[in-house]
Amino acid sequence: MSAPSSIPTASSAPPAPSVPGRRVRRRRDDTRLALLFILPATVGLVAFYFWPLVRGIWLSFTSWDLLSPAEFVGLDNYRTMVADPVFWNAVRVTLLYVVINIGLQTVLALLIAVLMQRLSRSVLLRSLVLAPYLVSNVVAALVFLWILDFQLGIGNQLLAWVGLDRIGFFTSETWAIPTIAVVNVWRHMGYTALLIFAGLQAISPTTYEAARVDGASETRMFFGITLPLLRPILGLVLIISVIGSFQVFDTVAVTTNGGPVDASRVLQLYIYDKAFAQFDFGYASALSVAMLLILVVVTFFQYRVTRAGQTDLN
């Protein structure tokens, strides 16, 4: 019988001692690589968001017409804004648009998302739902401007064929804002539906199966399971939609340009008019700061009410 070999095998060899210096050096290299990757985004954030924000706040305390140096005027722009009836009308019109747009868009997007979840998860169907979002706001506005034209639009032609009076969708003080809201609902509804649909994927099917065993109907499961578990996603969707709705501009500029009689002059259009039509950049900056403060307050309120940072999925 041969003697056992004294040569240690690979499996019996002791582990190599760790080298603290090498581990620290690798961690430093990873940190430098991460900073290198986020550098372009950081430069863009500072150049196109942070610096314009700081400069806009500074310009709100000045009088500047773009051609002469800015003159510091303190709170004069804000005092003028408080006493400006056009500003308050723009705020009222914008809030009306936001309420109509968010209400219709959220309800319809939620309905579409639930139907996709229940009936079909086809990729082709999702592509069709998202298709309107790929159309630019200007193109969508022009198409609906032709469709809803008072004399030649097919929409009013259909109303006349069924015996109803023609409607000035973009020329009526009553219909201008609701029509613009519907145009933007048509364009953004599919994108919002896909966001909600993604949230539905996180809900376990066993939850619905257990509810069916207990005899729950589809309506009961929707209000008792789907809506509560979708709360974080719905909170995110509402925050994004409200911020986007407050910044509506191109659809209004193409269709009504603020008319008739300021009935559709939203706040963003008023800011544009003050800055680039009247060259009052100081006052326009003050209006922009006011809209920023409104959005901060509304977003904070939405976040607290919807409890978007909490979830019941755990």
Q: What is the mean pLDDT of residues 87-94?
A: 96
Question: What is the SS3 assignment for 62?
Answer: strand
The DSSP code sequence of 82-122 is HT-HHHHHHHHHHHHHHHHHHHHHHHHHHHHHHHHHHH---
**What is the H or E stretch that residue 251 is in?**
helix 250-255
pLDDT at 227 over 60: yes
Cβ proximity of 133 and 277 under 8 Å: no
Tokens of 265: 């002059």
DSSP run (H or E) holding 195: helix 176-201
More confidently predicted of 7 and 37: 37
| Mean pLDDT for the chain overall | 87
Q: What is the pLDDT of residue 30?
A: 79
Higher pLDDT, 34 or 167: 167
> What percentage of the chain carries pLDDT values higher than 70?
88
Under 8 Å between Cβ of 224 and 216? yes
- Asked if the model's pLDDT at residue 10 lies above 50, the reply is no
* Rounded-to-integer distance, Cα 309 and Cα 231, Å: 9
Among the ranges given (17-26, 37-46, 282-291), the one the predictor scored with the smallest mean pLDDT: 17-26
Token code pair at residue 42: 């950081």
- The 10s digit of each residue's pLDDT in 183-193 is 999 999 999 99
| CA distance between the termini of the chain | 63
Question: Using CB atoms within 10 A of its CB, is residue 78 exposed (0-12), middle (13-18) or buried (19+)?
Answer: middle
pLDDT band with cut points at 50, 70 and 90 for residue 313: low
26 pLDDT higher than 80: no
Among 118, 107, 264, 117, CA closest to 181: 264
Name which of 77, 86, 81, 33 is nearest 57 in CA terms. 77
Look at residue 251 and tell me whether its pLDDT is greater than 60: yes
Report the C-alpha gap between 290 and 256 in whole angstroms: 24
CA distance 214 to 208: 10
Model pTM score: 0.85
